[in-house]
């Protein structure tokens, strides 16, 4: 197991290197003066320009610039926002908890629905629940989340006024208001992943339910609930863990649009505001950090997967 | 063909909606009742009526006509970006799978790198490198983001196929690698690639809509579903729902039909893929 983790970590190094090169190239393809990017806005004073050029190595050849940029990035220095002059990392970490709250709620919602409905659909194959679940699955992946968000705002926020149509309230000051404002964005963000998780739970449970060891369990006289929850789930949920883990890594991506529609002040909204304000350093910082978090979650998923199913690490060892 | 369609009614259904969509896009100038960009403020913000079945927007433009014309942007972006992803991805996958070795190693690290970025965010980052966002950049970005799916699929199949007897036989009679790859390996991948391209089209329509929604795709006054939703959403608090719901429903139907067709094709063409999904 230790060897397996080590090998996965080693494999990550070249990819992380290439990811950093891609982000560096994207920064250099962006329009505008790089001095402005690192100084946090247009600078007129020649002394300041020279100082920034030297500090970030902008007067050096491109490969040297990359090394200097990487050094800064590894220390958490991604430059400053062109609009607010705030350090990029600070701007991101300030908003991260709100994105994690929204993403966490959406994932929780998605996994609970997928487990309950997916299991019923698999156990009662071709029943009404199964047919509805399968239909909803294809609809769920085809539904753009900005469209669903708008429909939810219209119906529950504006017509029936059950939930606020948007905005954020701090949990510490007003927990109830915070949760109320969380409902619609969380449902919106959860829609696509619920569809994928549901499909996965159903199909892997169907695969497992026809296997011999479950026939043995039935022959022993175990109750159906015990068979499904104690024996079938254990094996069926391994692929679900993979998909779920990747969704954790992709929270930020999904949050981009959802946060925009619901005026949720998280990292996704920051990304969109920065794109519209041509605030390149913030955009690139978010891209780099989300790529790294996505890679980290892939690693965790692989390790978890190998732990849940020891055949995987054995197989890759013998390969 | 007729028997095939009769045996697979889902393909017939999905295919019919897709053909209908393409028909609407091609004949938009004939089908659309009004000029989609014609401004008539006196007709602004009208709810659905006989004259304007989907109502009008704040500038008095007919929403139905904009939805009909919007299909052109969606489908053309999907066509071009899927072609980019398909062309680059399949070539890379075939080369990596067939030749193996160092090329395979480098190609797969490149793919791993692309996969390390969340897709929408990478597309956004690519488009955001341009001073002025334009639809061409969105096409290229969506195409690049799609490359890994085709490469991985093609490589895995090519790896399995290259050890098969008929490839060994071709090699023994002196067929050159390029001929083996294109005449013998590629046709065996066709089914899986058709499925991937159909599902990829659904993904591309969704991605274009998302980029346009964020202001990074088609630019006003070009009719585009994603951009129209974003523009019209400002009138939601006034309960002017028709302007946002019509283009949204169009996106949903288009994506749904390609997903539906892709799923049906997968079931019909490759039962093994169905199990893996």
Q: What are phi and psi of A80, to 5 degrees?
A: -120, 155
Higher pLDDT, A260 or A39: A260
**CB-based contact A253 B120, cutoff 8 Å:** yes
Name the DSSP letter for residue B56.
Answer: B
B47 secondary structure, DSSP code: P
Is position A15 within any domain? no
Pairwise pLDDT comparison (A125 vs B18), residue with the higher score? B18
Residue A318 pLDDT greater than 60, yes or no: no
Residue A4 clears pLDDT 50, i.e. is over it: yes
Tally of domains within chain A = 1
Interface pTM, i.e. ipTM: 0.87
pLDDT in tens, A142-197: 888 899 999 999 999 999 999 999 999 999 999 999 999 999 999 999 998 899 89
Structural domain includes residue A67? no
pTM, two decimal places: 0.89
The residue range of the domain holding A162 is 88-308
DSSP state of B150: H
Convert the pLDDT of each residue in B72-87 to its tens digit: 999 999 999 999 999 9
Residue B122, chain A, CB below 8 Å: the answer is yes
Q: Tell me whether residue A126 is in a domain.
A: yes
Q: What DSSP element (H or E) covers B80?
A: helix B63-99
Q: Is residue A130 part of a domain?
A: yes
Would the CB atoms of A286 and B260 count as touching at under 8 Å?
no
Is A55 contained in some domain?
no
pLDDT in tens, A216-261: 888 888 888 888 888 888 888 888 887 888 788 777 888 899 999 9
Q: Give the Å distances, CA to CA, from A230 to A233, A244, A305.
A: 6, 20, 19
Top residue of B70, B116, B210, B261 to mutate, by most chain A CBs within 10 Å, is B116
pLDDT of residue B30: 96
Contact B229 A150 (CB under 8 A): yes
CB of B204 less than 8 A from some CB of A = no
Element housing B185 (H / E): none
Q: Is residue A297 part of a domain?
A: yes
Residue A212 lies in a domain: yes
CATH number of domain containing A281: 1.10.3720.10
pLDDT of residue B201 exceeding 50, the answer is yes
pLDDT tens digits for range A101-150: 999 999 999 999 999 999 999 998 888 888 888 888 888 888 888 999 99
A71 part of a folded domain: no
């Amino acid at each position: 197991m230790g060897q397996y983790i080590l090998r996965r970590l080693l494999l990550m190094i070249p990819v992380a290197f290439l990811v950093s090169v891609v982000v560096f190239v994207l920064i250099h393809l962006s329009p505008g003066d790089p001095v402005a990017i690192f100084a946090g806005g247009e600078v007129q004073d020649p002394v300041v320009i020279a100082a920034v050029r030297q500090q970030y190595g902008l007067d050096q050849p491109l490969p040297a610039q990359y090394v200097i940029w990487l050094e800064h990035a590894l220390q958490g220095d991604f430059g400053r926002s062109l609009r607010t002059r705030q350090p990029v990392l600070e701007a991101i970490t300030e908003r991260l908890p709100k994105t994690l709250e929204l993403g966490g709620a959406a994932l929780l919602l998605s996994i609970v629905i997928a487990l309950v409905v997916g299991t019923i659909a698999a156990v009662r194959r071709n029943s009404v629940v199964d047919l509805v679940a399968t239909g909803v699955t294809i609809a769920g992946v085809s539904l753009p989340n900005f469209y669903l968000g708008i429909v939810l705002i219209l119906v529950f926020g504006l017509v029936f006024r059950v939930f606020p149509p948007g905005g954020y309230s701090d949990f510490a000051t007003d927990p109830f208001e915070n949760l109320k404002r969380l409902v619609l964005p969380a449902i919106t963000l959860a829609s696509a992943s619920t569809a994928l998780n549901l499909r996965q739970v159903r199909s892997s449970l169907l695969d497992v339910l026809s296997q011999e060891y479950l026939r043995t369990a039935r022959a022993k006289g175990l109750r159906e609930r015990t068979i499904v929850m104690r024996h079938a789930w254990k094996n069926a949920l391994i692929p679900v863990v993979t998909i779920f883990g990747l969704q954790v890594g992709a929270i930020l991506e999904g949050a981009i649009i959802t946060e925009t529609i619901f005026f949720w002040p998280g990292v996704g909204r920051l990304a969109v505001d920065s794109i519209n304000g041509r605030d390149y350093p913030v955009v690139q910082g978010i891209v780099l950090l989300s790529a790294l978090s996505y890679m980290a979650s892939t690693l965790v998923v692989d390790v978890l997967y190998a732990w849940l199913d020891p055949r995987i690490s054995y197989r890759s060892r013998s390969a | 063909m007729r028997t095939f369609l009769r045996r697979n009614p889902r393909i017939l259904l999905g295919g019919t909606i897709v053909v209908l969509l393409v028909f609407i896009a091609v004949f938009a100038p004939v089908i659309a009742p009004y000029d989609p960009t014609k401004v008539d403020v006196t007709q602004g913000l009208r709810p659905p009526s006989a004259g304007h079945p989907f109502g009008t927007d704040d500038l008095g433009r007919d929403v139905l006509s904009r939805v009909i014309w919007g299909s052109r942007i969606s489908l053309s972006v999907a066509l071009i970006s899927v072609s980019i992803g398909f062309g680059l991805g399949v070539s890379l996958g075939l080369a990596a799978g067939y030749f193996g070795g160092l090329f395979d190693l480098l190609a797969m690290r490149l793919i791993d790198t692309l996969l390390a970025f969340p897709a929408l965010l990478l597309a956004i980052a690519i488009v955001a490198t341009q001073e002025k966002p334009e639809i061409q950049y969105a096409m290229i970005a969506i195409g690049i983001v799609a490359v890994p799916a085709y490469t991985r699929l093609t490589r895995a199949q090519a790896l399995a196929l290259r050890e098969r007897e008929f490839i060994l036989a071709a090699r023994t009679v002196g067929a050159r690698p390029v001929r083996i790859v294109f005449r013998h390996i590629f046709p065996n991948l066709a089914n899986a690639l058709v499925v991937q391209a159909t599902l990829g089209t659904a993904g591309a329509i969704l991605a274009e809509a998302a980029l346009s929604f964020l202001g990074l795709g088609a630019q006003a006054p070009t009719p585009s579903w994603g951009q129209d939703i974003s523009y019209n959403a400002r009138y939601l608090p006034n309960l002017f729902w028709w302007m946002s719901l019509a283009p949204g429903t169009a996106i949903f139907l288009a994506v749904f039909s390609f997903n539906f067709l892709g799923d049906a094709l997968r079931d019909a063409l490759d039962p093994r893929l169905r199990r893996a999904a």
